[in-house]
Structure 1
Amino acid sequence: MSRSPVSKDELERIALQEIRSFPGTEKVVSIEVEFGPDHRPGTSEWKLHVVAQEGCDLARIQYAAKTTSDRLKRRYEILLN
C-alpha cells in the first residue's frame, strides 16, 4: 500500500486532531514530529512528542500517541523541503 505525501506541519496538525479524539486527551496542547538521526524520505524514522497541560491523564495520552503514531506511519510519508 502506498502512503500519501504530507508536510511535517500538516502531519502535526493531523496527529493533534487524532490524539484529541481519544477520551481523556482534552489537555493535549500541541504535537511535534521529531525525525530520527537516519531519517530519509520513504522511511518512518520519526516520532511524536506530545505537550499537554498539567493534570492530564498521562497513561491515556501515551496510549493515544502510540496508537496515532502507528496509524500515521502506515498512512503518510513526510515530505522534506
Structure 2
Amino acid sequence: MAKALISKADLERIALQDIRTFPGSEHVVSVEVECETSPPRGINWRLYVIANDEGDLDRIQYAVKFTSDRLKRRHELRPAS
C-alpha cells in the first residue's frame, strides 16, 4: 500500500487529535514532529508531545507509540519546500 504524503503541520494536527482520544491522554497540549536526518527506509519523522502535569505518563506514552506506529504505516512526511 502506498503511503500518502502529508505536511508537517497536518501530521501534527492529526497526531494531537488521535492521541487525545486515548483515556488518560486528554492532557496532551501539543505534538511536534521532528524530522530525522538519516531515516531508515522512508520513516523520516518522530513525534514529541507536551502534556500538563495532570496527564498519565504511562497512558500518554502508550498513546504516542500506538499513534506514531499507525501514522507511519499510512503517511510519509512531505519534504519542506
Deviation for aligned residue 1:56: 1.1
Does residue 53 (structure 1) correspond to residue 52 (structure 2)? The answer is: yes
TM-score, normalized by length of structure 2?
0.92
Aligned position for 2:37 = 37
Query: After the TM superposition, which residues 65-80 of structure 1 pair with which residues of structure 2 at under 5 Å, given as runs?
Result: 65-80=64-79
Determine if contact 2:31/2:50 at 8 Å carries over to the other structure.
yes
Counterpart CA distance in 2 for 1:34 and 1:22 is: 22
Counterpart CA distance in 2 for 1:58 and 1:8 is: 24
Deviation for aligned residue 1:53: 0.5
Structure 2 SS opposite 1:37? coil
Task: Specify every segment of 5 or more residues in structure 2 that has no aligned partner in the other structure, as ranges.
Answer: none
Deviation for aligned residue 1:55: 2.2
Query: After the TM superposition, which residues 11-30 of structure 1 pair with which residues of structure 2 at under 5 Å, given as runs?
Result: 11-30=11-30
Alpha-carbon displacement from aligned partner over 1:35-72 (angstroms, at most 9, x marks no partner): 112149x7112210010001210000000000000000
Structure 1 SS opposite 2:24? coil
Task: Specify every segment of 5 or more residues in structure 1 that has no aligned partner in the other structure, as ranges.
Answer: none
Structure 2 SS opposite 1:71? helix
Determine if contact 2:44/2:76 at 8 Å carries over to the other structure.
no
- Whichever residue aligns with residue 45 of structure 2, its letter is W
TM-score, normalized by length of structure 1?
0.92
- Whichever residue aligns with residue 46 of structure 2, its letter is K
**Paired-residue identity, %:** 54
